[in-house]
Amino acid sequence: MELHQDPSSFSSRQELLEELENLISIESSRNGNPWISVAKLSELFCEKYRVSLEEVAKVQGYNYSLMSLFTSSRRFSIYGTQMPQDFYVALLQAVVPSYDQAQTSSSKYRIKRPLQKISEYKPILVSEIKSIDDFEIALIEIIKSLTANHQTKFATIAILSKNFRGYYGQPIRTVMRSICPEIKLIDLLRSTPNLSVQEVDNDWQITVDFDSVTDEYH
């Protein structure tokens, strides 16, 4: 196929992500499967816009891999394979129905209680982690508990890892290697909904975007 569209035709990262979300939704509705391979998604994108998805991603600053584009957004869930470049992507809301339920319950708890009582928050944990979506829910709940129950309002990866092991009896990276070996912990945290991650003094600080959680259920 001859490509002729300008890779810079997408004016922003947000515009590109919205179009990818639309393509995934259409393809998922067509075949009844929420997961789509990045190769298939790239093919659909190229057919519609006559330009390579990789080239458009590079224009938006994602030079390393397409996975870095998807993990930069909180609207997607990623399933890795043995080959880093061959992964699957789905809309988070389509593959984590229990996540919405947990968030609705916990957000209503916060809304009803005064701010000073947020320290009473207890994490809503899945009993066993069998998938990347279970893993994401566990991370969110543990970080929410850490940030709600401490004045610092952020958690470091070291603190997160310590608490994760306390709850599940396994190192966090051991669990990661069993369910998503091709994804780094920091990339997964960046892609997890309602979490904000920033590097401060050579360490990573993770916070929960409580406003985002609350606004979703107004």
Q: Is the pTM of this model over 0.75?
A: no
For the chain, what are the domain ranges?
A: 7-95, 97-216
User: What's the confidence (pLDDT) of residue 64?
Assistant: 62
- When pLDDT is cut at 50, 70 and 90, the band that residue 114 belongs to is very low
User: C-alpha distances in angstroms, 163 versus 51, 153, 159?
Assistant: 45, 15, 6
Side chain identity, residue 3: L
Burial (CB < 10 A; 0-12, 13-18, 19+), residue 87, is buried
User: What's the confidence (pLDDT) of residue 12?
Assistant: 82
User: What's the confidence (pLDDT) of residue 151?
Assistant: 60
How confident is the model over 119-133, as pLDDT tens digits? 456 777 878 888 888
Task: Tell me whether domains 7-95 and 97-216 share a fold.
Answer: yes
55 vs 61: CA distance, rounded Å: 10
The CATH code of the domain at 7-95 is: 1.10.10
- Per DSSP, the residues of the chain read ----S-GGGS--HHHHHHHHHHHHHHHHHHHS-S-EEHHHHHHHHHHHHSS-HHHHHHHTT--S-HHHHHHTSSSEEEE--SSTT--EEEEHHHH-HHHHHHHHHHHHHHHHS-GGGGGG------SS--SHHHHHHHHHHHHHHHHHSSTT--EEHHHHHHHHHHHHSS-HHHHHHHH-TTS-HHHHHHHSTTEEEEEETTEEEEEE-HHHHHHHT-
- When pLDDT is cut at 50, 70 and 90, the band that residue 213 belongs to is very low
Average pLDDT (187-210) is 79
User: What's the confidence (pLDDT) of residue 26?
Assistant: 92
**Is 78's pLDDT higher than 50?**
yes
The sign one gets for the Cα dihedral 53, 56, 61, 64 is: positive
**Is 115's pLDDT higher than 60?**
no
Pick 209 or 19 by higher pLDDT. Answer: 19
Neighbouring CB atoms inside 10 A of 197's CB total 17
The answer to whether 78 and 71 are in contact (CB under 8 A) is yes
User: C-alpha distances in angstroms, 164 versus 101, 129, 186?
Assistant: 22, 12, 15
Out of 1.25.40, 3.20.20, 1.10.10, 2.40.160, which CATH number does the structure's domain 97-216 have? 1.10.10
